[in-house]
Homo-oligomer: A and B are copies of this chain.
C-alpha cells in the first residue's frame, strides 16, 4: 500500500474531479465521505476504492482487498473533504442504480436545495418508497451535500434522472396513479384514498410543480395550512405525504 503525500499527485487530481458534476458523469463514479456512508457503500457492493487519511483506523468489520485501499497524508485527505471536521475516510463509489420493483415512486420536479433533496431520498427510503425519479433542473444527486443528507439511503432506493414529460405517461401506462402537489384545485391529502401503485410529484421549493408536469397528474393534492405560514418546506411536505401514503 503506497501513501500519497503530495497534493499535486495525479491520483488526487482524479479524485478532485469527482467533486464536480462533470467529473462524476464522465467516470460514472462519485465520492462519499465519513465512516457511515463508506460502510453503506461497502455493504451495497458499490466500492471502487477506499481512501483513508493516515490517522484514520478502519472499522474492523470491513474485509478489504488491500488493492482497493489508498492511504493519504492527513493534509492531502483534507483536500477531499467537504465537511468542517473530516473523519478522514472516503470512498469512490459506482453510480450503478439500485434495482427495485416499482410500487411507490417519488417524483421530483426541479428541487434546488441539496439538503432538501438528500432529506427527501432519506425519507423515501424510510417510508418504503422504492424509486426516486429526478426531473431536469433538479440538483445533482451525487453532489456531496446531497449524499451526506441522504445518510446512506441513496444506496437503498432506485434513483434515476429522467424527463418527467416522458416518465409520467409511462408510469400511467404501467398502472400507476400520479398525484401532484398543488395549491389550487387540489384535495386535502387527508381526504384522499391513495391507490396501491402510486407516483407522488413534489415541486420546486419556490414555484411548486411546473404546469406542464401538473397537467400529467391524475389527482392534485395539498397539505392545508392551519396557521399563518405561507407554505411548508418541500422536504417536510414530501415527508408528510409519503408517510400518509405508507401508513394509510
A151 within 8 A of B: yes
How many A residues touch the partner, as a band?
Answer: 35 or more
Which of B156, B190, B232, B246 meets A247, CB within 8 Å? B190
How many copies, total? 2
Contact at B122–A233, with CB atoms within 8 Å? yes
Question: Within the complex, which residue of B119, B124, B228, B237 is in contact with A153, where a contact is CB–CB below 8 Å?
Answer: B228
A226 to B227, CA, bound (A): 30
Of the candidates B157, B188, B230, the one whose C-beta lies within 8 Å of that of A227 is B157
Give the contacting residue for A236; candidates B152, B225, B236, B246; CB below 8 A.
Answer: B236
Across the two chains, which residue of chain B brings its CB closest to A190?
B247
Mark interface residues in A144-159 (1 if CB within 8 Å of B CB, else 0).
0000010111001100
A226 touching B123 by the CB < 8 A rule? no
Is residue A68 within 8 Å, beta carbon to beta carbon, of the partner chain? no
A interface, CB within 8 angstroms of B: 115, 119, 122-129, 149, 151-153, 156-157, 188, 190, 223-233, 235-237, 239-240, 243, 246-247
